[in-house]
Amino acid sequence: MAVGSVGGFLACGHAQVKVPAVPLAHLWVEAEGHRDAGRWVEAAGLAERVLQRVDQGETMPAGMVPDQVRVLAAGWALRAGVTGVAEAQARRVVESPTAAAWRGEARLILGVALLGLERGGEAERVLEPLAEEARFRDRVGLLRAWAARAAGRLDRAAALLAERVRLAGGDEEKGEAAWAWAEVELERGETEAAWTAVRHLLERSGAGANPAAAGLLGLRVMDQAARSQGSELVLAVGAALPSRDRLLAAHATAEAELRRRRDLAGAAEGAGAESVARWRREQQYARLSAARAALEAQVHFDADLLVRRARAYHARGQVWESALVSERVLARWPAAPQAEEAAAWRVRALAESRRPATAITAAESFAERHARSALLAPTLGVAAGAAAALGDGPRQVRLLAAALAADPAPDLRDALRLRQAQAWIGVGAFDEAWKAAGGLRADSASGSWREEARYLEAMASLAGGEARRALVELAAYAAEYPEGRFSADAAYREAAARFGLGEFPEAERATAAWLERYPADHPQRGEVLSLRGDILSAAGQRETAVEAYRGALEHRLEAEGRAHALDELTRLEVALGEGARAVSRWRGLAEANPDDPLTLSAAYWIGRILSQEGDAAAAAEAMAALVRPHLADPAREHVERVLAEIARTLGRANREPVAPAETWLLESAQRLQPTARARARFLDADILARRGDVDAAEALLDQLEAECPLPALPPALLARQGDRRRLRGDRDGARRCYEALLACVPASRLQEVALVGLGELALAKGDSAAALAWFERALRSGTPTRLAEASIGRAAAWQMLGRRDDARAALEEGVADRAWRGETKARAWVLLGELHAESADPASLARARACFERVRVAHRRATTWHLRAALGGGQVLERLGERTAAEELYRESLADPRVAALPESTLLRTKLARLVNPAGGGR
């Protein structure tokens, strides 16, 4: 009887149809035929039929044992997926007292069937005895583990699986065990063990491998590790996992091998254990295929992996590495969903690795690409911090405004509002700061920052000169927060406010009350004492002021506060005739901390006090003593500042001739040291220059490079030499000096001088691209010594590159910046004028004229730019047809002897001559 379906199977097994007496042997042969053809349902059904007839009393055919038949039937039912029947048949054999020979096989099948029926605990009990039997031990190992897992006994499952990985003989079983082990350990939360299992899986090859599963499990391990173990494991996993392409390629090989083994095995069937083995292989193949499909569906697996690594690097403080990894995501998968997070991490990493300019650019790019991102507000907040690090207050304010406009979460919103108020104070917009702080105090969504806002409101008032209002607000703060975090500072500020209002007695009482209230080791005690000194000094109580300042110096003070206290104390001591004491104190300070910026103040005061006593030589010697031990060390940059003070002291007119510094500044051993000799030579040149003998000074410095190799020169002298040579047109010499300055390690704060200088050299050479690179590097350097020069240089490079809009915007910002002064500002006006003059329309020409006029009126001392402004202004007037005005302008400019002395003034003369005598032209 042929059957073709489960229904058919049921019909075979249970129908009440009266079956003709087909001999059992024939039925069995038919069943085996179905088995050979892979028709498991039919085979199992016929086997069931045979067994039913045997149960009904028929005799089993010769050579066939009922228990064996039962085991086979159970195995075939298992293959057919009829797990209940498989269980029933197998159980009968297991429980049969006479089935010893087949009990093991039956147990195996029963265990698998119970697993299929999700009765893990029972499966475990059934399979346990097989672990003692040598012929089943290996085969049942993995099954026991699965049973333990199904029963919820994860610890046991993990132990069994780890054992299988170690002891299993075949690749396939090792691979299966490793995969299951990884999953179980993840469930247990044992991340390290899970990674060990995944590594085993990755190391497998051939039929035992499951690379796709290993990759996906690896990501899960990384996530779990990030939550619990820390970043080190995340990074270890991230470095070890191959790319998606490599995983899929390896996976294809593994699938092919398993398929090949499956096909080789064929349909030939033995006893029940072989059924189990085949069943397992089919399950394994299905799992392999599913893993491949899952990895194929994760199109952005690689980007996912890298973003996890970026997070982990950042968590470990490896922000440079985090930035690199994020950049890779953005470069290779710019459209992936992970790109947004990567871009945000990149901004943070750049800011924290002290690349604020690049961080800001990255944040602005983020804002363009992900305008609706939930990460936009925090990212812009980070960029605002970067702007603060650059000292770019206006930009910080703009970025904070943009961050607030990006609808941040309430907590972040309040934090940003507070920072915005602080930023307003930083740019001097005290009124805005006061309003911002007041607004935050009134309507803080999270309530987290009210106290800070209240306090900041008062500070904004104080900084904005609204002392009365500040006093009211400070009183309100003290009333609302009597033991607040800022109470001590508020009391101090109250005293400062009263001092600012000229209420000296009240201010003095406030400082006394503060000193009474707060302990001796309070960190602000020094500051309060210093303020007290200011108050008493202003009130004419010099002696008590001196006591207060001395007391302040015994406590902790910020650098600026210490400098102020020292300066004021010194002034009072000199007034009280205690100059020697002041000199002694300064000397002690400089000797104890030669690298302290106060050494310069020490030199100044010592020089001034001793000079006032009429002894310039003693003043010079006292200052020289401060720096003499360090003259041979090019890394001690404070030496140059003190030497400058010595030059100032000795350089005043009508002083007696000074011996060469080598003879009195250097110790005998130092006369052989190039750095020390160079410093002495520079001092001589400075003294000569201050006394008006510029030519002699220049001659000395010209000799210097021949005697002292550049690496021996300290940074300040390299910077000076570089600038000096550049201004004299010695480009190669200047370049060598600047490069030596850049090569100083640690990097000197003066390296910006070199960067700007090299940029100017490139501009002079006409290499605008190189110039732009140098100036941008200067602006990124984060030490704005020459911020204005670098900015204007960059604008000039942009102009040469044809980026006129960028140049114009930068120059307009610069001329509006009060920090730009003198030559720099004059140059900015001239360049801006020249940009406007490129256009023919009258409005632009009028703007150009105004720019040039500005220089001629306000920057006459910047002679080079004065001349250039005259040239530009005259040309504009000529183009506007105002020949008479142009002629007047040229004459007026040439009347300035400084302009007339410049070689380029011949251009002015030529133009003037042409205007006066159009026919003859200029000669």
Query: Which of 804, 720, 800 has its CA nearest to residue 763?
Result: 800
Q: Which of 758, 826, 867, 899 forms a contact with another protein (CB under 8 A)?
A: 758
Q: How far is the CB of 316 from another protein (least distance, A)?
A: 9
Of 63-71, 168-176, 772-780, 914-922, the window that binds another protein (rule: CB under 8 A) is 772-780
Q: Which residue is listed with tokens 């000292």?
A: 391
Choose the binding region for another protein from 126-134, 158-166, 376-384, 766-774 (rule: CB under 8 A). Answer: 766-774
Q: For the residues of 11-41, what is the DSSP string, one character each?
A: HHHH---------HHHHHHHHHHHHHTT-HH
The single residue among 83, 191, 196, 751 that binds another protein, judged by CB under 8 A, is 751
Q: What is the largest CA-CA distance in the chain?
A: 143
Does 555 bind another protein (CB under 8 A)? Our answer is no
Binding letters toward another protein, positions 207-246, x by CB under 8 A: --------------------------------x-------
Cβ atoms of residues 412 and 384 within 8 Å: no
Of residues 349, 582, 742, 826, which one binds another protein by CB under 8 A?
A: 742
Q: How far is the CB of 666 from another protein (least distance, A)?
A: 24
For residues 140 and 156, give the distance between their C-alpha atoms in angstroms, rounded to a whole number.
15
CA 821 – CA 759 distance, rounded (Å): 20
Cα 220 → chain centroid: 26
Considering only the stretches 103-111, 437-445, 547-555, 739-747, report the one whose residues sit in contact with another protein under the rule CB under 8 A. 739-747
Identified binder of another protein from the candidate list 770, 800, 894, 902, rule CB under 8 A: 770
Using the rule CB under 8 A, give the single segment among 199-207, 222-230, 684-692, 743-751 that binds another protein: 743-751
Site for another protein in 44-63 (CB under 8 A): none
Our finding on whether 745 is near another protein (CB under 8 A) is: yes
Judge if the upstream peptide bond of residue 746 is cis by omega within 30 degrees of 0: yes
Nearest to residue 112, comparing CAs of 99, 127, 125, 100? 127
Distance CA 807, CA 831 (A): 9
The sign of the torsion formed by the CA atoms of 295, 296, 298, 301 equals positive
Out of 769, 809, 819, 846, the only residue in the binding site for another protein (CB under 8 A) is 769
Q: Which is nearer to another protein, 281 or 780 (CB)?
A: 780
End-to-end CA gap in the chain: 125
Q: What are phi and psi of 565, to 5 degrees?
A: -60, -45
- Residues written for the chain: 923
When asked if residue 801 is in the footprint of another protein (CB under 8 A), the reply is no
850 binds another protein (CB under 8 A): no
Q: Which helix (H) or strand (E) holds 273?
A: helix 272-297
> What does the DSSP 8-state code read for residue 862?
S
Taking CB under 8 A as the criterion, which residues in 319-348 touch another protein?
Answer: 320-321, 324-325, 328, 331
Instruction: Verify binding: residue 747, another protein, rule CB under 8 A.
Output: yes
Q: Binding segment for another protein among 7-15, 63-71, 185-193, 703-711 (CB under 8 A)?
A: 703-711
**CA 77 – CA 865 distance, rounded (Å):** 100
Asked if 380 is part of the footprint of another protein (rule: CB under 8 A), the reply reads no
* Selected range binding another protein among 163-171, 370-378, 463-471, 773-781, rule: CB under 8 A: 773-781
Angle between helices 842-858 and 822-837 (to 10 degrees): 160
For residues 474 and 494, is the Cβ–Cβ distance under 8 A? yes
One-letter amino acid at 689 equals A
Q: Tokens 């005697």 map to which residue?
A: 707
- Does 636 help bind another protein (rule: CB under 8 A)? no
In the complex, minimum distance from the CB of residue 234 to another protein, in angstroms, rounded to a whole number: 14
Residue 796 binds to another protein (criterion: CB under 8 A): no
Q: Does 249 bind another protein (CB under 8 A)?
A: no
Interface stretch with another protein, choices 256-264, 314-322, 597-605, 796-804 (CB under 8 A): 314-322
Half-sphere exposure of 821 (CA within 13 A, CB side): 2
**Total of residues contacting another protein (CB under 8 A):** 35
Give me the residue label for tokens 């106060």.
Answer: 598
Task: For tokens 């009922």, name the residue.
Answer: 66
Closest approach of Cβ 765 to another protein, in Å?
8
Q: Residue 753 Cβ, how far from another protein at the closest point, in Å? A: 13
Place of tokens 């992900």: 370
Q: Is 762 in the site for another protein (CB under 8 A)?
A: yes
CB of 305 to another protein, least distance (A): 12
Binding positions for another protein, rule: CB under 8 A: 239, 313, 317, 320-321, 324-325, 328, 331, 354-355, 709-711, 735-736, 739-740, 742-747, 751, 755, 758, 762, 767, 769-770, 773-774, 777, 780
